[in-house]
Chain A
Amino acid sequence: MKEKLTSLWQKLFGDPVRAFGVVSLVFLLSLAIAPAKNYFSEWRHYQHSYLRMIRNRSDANTLQRHFQGGIHQIWLPELGVVDRCTSCHVGLKEASLTDVATQPFRKHPVVPHKLDEFGCVVCHRGQGAATTVAEAHNSTLAWEQPILPAKYIESSCGQCHRGPMLGTPQLNQGRALLKREGCVHCHTIKLPDGSPIQPNDDPPSLEHIADKTTREWIYAWLRDPQSYAASATMPNFKLSDDDARDVSAFLMANSAPLAGDRAKITAKPASDPSAGPSLYGESFCASCHSVQNAAGNLVGGDVGPELTRIGSKVKPEWLQAWLRNPRSYDPGTAMPHYRLNDGQVATLSGFLLAKTDSDLLANVHLDPATPEQIAHGKRLVSDYGCASCHEIAGIKKPENFAPELTRIGSKPITQLIFLPGMQHTLPEYIAGKIKQPRAFSPGLKMPQYTLAPAQIDALTTALLSFNERSFTLPPSLAVPGVPESDYQPAGKAGKLMSDLACFSCHRISGHGGDMAPDLTWEGSSVQREWLVQFFKNPGTLRPALIRRMPRFNLTDGEITELTDYIMTVYQNPAVDRDSMPLSGYPQGQVELGRQLFYGKYSCQGCHIVDTKTDKGYIGPTLTHVGSRLTAAWMYQWMKNPQALRPGTIEPNRAMSDEDARALTAFLMSQKGGAKQEIAKK
Chain B
Amino acid sequence: MADSKDFVAGVDSNAKKSPRRIVFITRRTSAQVKAETEDQIQTFPEVLFRAAVAIEVLAVVLVWISLMFNAPLEGLADPSHTPNPAKAPWYFLGLQEMLHYFPPVVAGVLVPGLVVMALIVIPYFKVNIEADGLFLKDREKRQRIFYVVAATLSIFLLVFKVYVALAPTLIMAGVMLVAAYSCPQSTSAFRRYLAARPLSYWVMTWFLFELVLLTAIGTFFRGPGWSWIWPWQGS
Chain A interface (Cβ within 8 Å of chain B)?
16-17, 19-20, 23-24, 26-27, 30-31, 33-34, 37, 141-144, 412, 414-415
Which A residues are CB-close (under 8 A) to B45?
16-17
Q: Which of B49, B57, B64, B67 contacts A17 (CB 8 A)?
A: B49
What is the interface size of chain B, counting residues whose CB is below 8 A from a CB of the partner? 21
Supply 7 A–B pairs (Cβ within 8 Å), ascending by A: A16-B45, A16-B53, A17-B49, A30-B64, A33-B67, A34-B67, A414-B81
Is the C-beta of B138 less than 8 angstroms from some C-beta in chain A? Answer: no
A141:B72 contact, CB within 8 angstroms? yes
A23 to B57, CA, bound (A): 7
A20 to B59, CA, bound (A): 13
Q: CA–CA, A508 to B28, complex, Å? A: 117
For residue B49, which residues in chain A have a CB less than 8 angstroms away from its CB? 16-17, 19-20
Report Cα–Cα, A27/B84, bound state, in Å: 41
Which chain A residue lies CB-closest to B49? A16
Q: Quick one: which of A37, A141, A414 has the most chain B CB within 10 A?
A: A414
Cα–Cα distance between A19 and B55 once the two chains are bound (Å): 12
Number of A-B contacts (CB under 8 A): 50
- Chain B interface mostly: helix
Complex: chain B residue closest to A34, CB-CB: B67
The prevalent SS among residues of A at the interface is helix
Residue from B57, B66, B73, B84 in contact with A141 in the complex, judged by beta carbons closer than 8 Å = B73
Q: A16-B46, A37-B67 are in contact. Are A30 and B60 (CB under 8 A)?
A: yes
- The answer for the CA separation of A33 and B75 in the assembled complex, in Å, is 29
Residues of chain B having any CB pair with chain A under 8 Å = 45-46, 49-50, 52-53, 56-57, 59-60, 63-64, 66-67, 72-75, 81, 83-84
- Cβ-defined contact, A26 with B60, below 8 A: yes
Cβ-defined contact, A23 with B60, below 8 A: yes
| 11 new A-B contacts at CB < 8 Å, known A16-B50, A26-B60, A37-B67 | A16-B52, A17-B45, A19-B53, A20-B53, A23-B53, A23-B60, A26-B56, A30-B64, A141-B74, A142-B74, A144-B75
Which residues of chain B are within 8 angstroms of A27 by Cβ–Cβ distance?
Answer: 56, 59-60, 63
Q: Which residues of B contact A19 (CB under 8 A)?
A: 49, 53
Q: Which residues of A contact B46 (CB under 8 A)?
A: 16
Query: Which residue of chain B has its CB nearest to the CB of A145?
Result: B75
CA distance A144 to B83 in the complex (A): 13
CB distance from A182 to the nearest CB of B (A): 30
Q: Please give, as numbers and ranges, the residues of chain B lying within 8 Å of A23 by CB-CB distance.
A: 53, 56-57, 60
Q: Which of B53, B56, B60, B81 contacts A415 (CB 8 A)?
A: B81
Q: Which residue of B lies closest to A23 (CB)?
A: B56
By a CB distance below 8 angstroms, the chain A residues around B59 are 27
Q: Is there contact, CB below 8 Å, between B52 and A20?
A: yes
- Most chain-A CB neighbours within 10 Å: which of B49, B53, B59, B73? B53
Nearest-Cβ distance from residue B33 to partner chain A, whole angstroms: 31
Residues on the A chain within 8 Å of B56, using CB: 20, 23-24, 26-27
Cβ A31 vs Cβ B63 within 8 A: yes
Task: Give 7 closest A-B pairs by Cβ, nearest first.
Answer: A16-B49, A23-B56, A30-B63, A20-B49, A27-B56, A142-B73, A16-B50
A172 to B56, CA, bound (A): 64
| Distance in angstroms between the alpha carbons of A141 and B74 in the assembled complex | 5
CB distance from A471 to the nearest CB of B (A): 13
User: What is the CB-to-nearest-CB distance from A136 to chain B, in angstroms, rounded to a whole number?
Assistant: 14
Q: Which residue of A lies closest to B224 (CB)?
A: A414
